Amino acid sequence: MEKPDATIVDFTAGNRSIWEIKEHPHILYLDKEPDLAIKPDILCDTRETQLDENSKYFAVFDPPHDWGRKKNSSIFSTPSLEVANKKWPKYYRETPPRYYGPDKYQSKKELLSYIYETQKEISRILISGGILFLKWGERRMPLSEVLEYFTLWDVMLKIPVKENAGKHANPTWWVMMIRKEGPWPQTELLDFFKSIEKQTKRTD
């Protein structure tokens, strides 16, 4: 769907559970999951969107905080409302399930690679000084580790989110970033890829 007035891009729209208003002409909703209850404006791999360079002002990125799960194996890995109500009738709902995408990546290495490539694509699409809001829940990985992969951004704010899940809840954050200016030196790029390889060999 074309949205000529859209200045904001949601790169991981899912069933739009973060939004109070589920449809807005100024927001372009992207996702790669075909079975969502609320279909994205564009079904695509967010690492390569085909959107115009320097064309948007603001981006939201809420990647999966978990990996290695099977699709439709839990309420949070089930994108379809119909399937969710059939498999878990005691949780019957009329609104779309909170699909978090833990089935999309089978390893930590895969997820981190996806995050790294998508932050590059967001940087390409946003204007100079464009704003990115990242949402991250420390279910299996601390925020500090994830932020190492946002190489093209200056972190401006880290906002902790209080969730109603008791004292054992994993910390959740909204992080505001501003796109860095200028080309990234090739030597720095090579050093970063080497560091990724070392980390994923230790933790995968």
Going edge to edge, which strands form the sheet with 56-61?
42-43, 27-31, 8-10, 56-61, 126-137, 172-179, 153-161
**What integer pLDDT is reported at residue 90 of this predicted model?**
77
Task: Give φ, ψ of 104 to 5 degrees.
Answer: -75, -30
Distance CA 97, CA 78 (A): 7
Q: Which residues pair with 61 in a beta bridge?
A: 134
What's the full length of the chain, in residues? Answer: 204
Short-list 35, 40, 34, CA closest to 13: 40
Supply the pLDDT for residue 187.
47
Give the pLDDT of residue 130. 94
Q: Kindly state the tokens that stand for 126.
A: 């946003």
Pick the CATH number of 8-203 from 3.40.50.150, 3.20.20.80, 3.40.120.10, 3.40.50.300: 3.40.50.150
What ranges do the domains of the chain cover? 8-203
pTM: 0.83
Question: Helix 186-203 to helix 108-125 angle, to the nearest 10 degrees?
Answer: 150
List the pLDDT tens digit at each of the 204 positions of the chain: 779 899 999 999 999 999 999 999 999 999 999 999 999 999 999 999 999 999 999 999 999 999 999 998 888 899 999 998 998 887 778 889 889 898 899 999 999 999 999 999 999 999 989 999 999 999 899 999 999 999 999 999 999 987 655 555 789 999 999 998 865 444 444 555 555 555 555 555
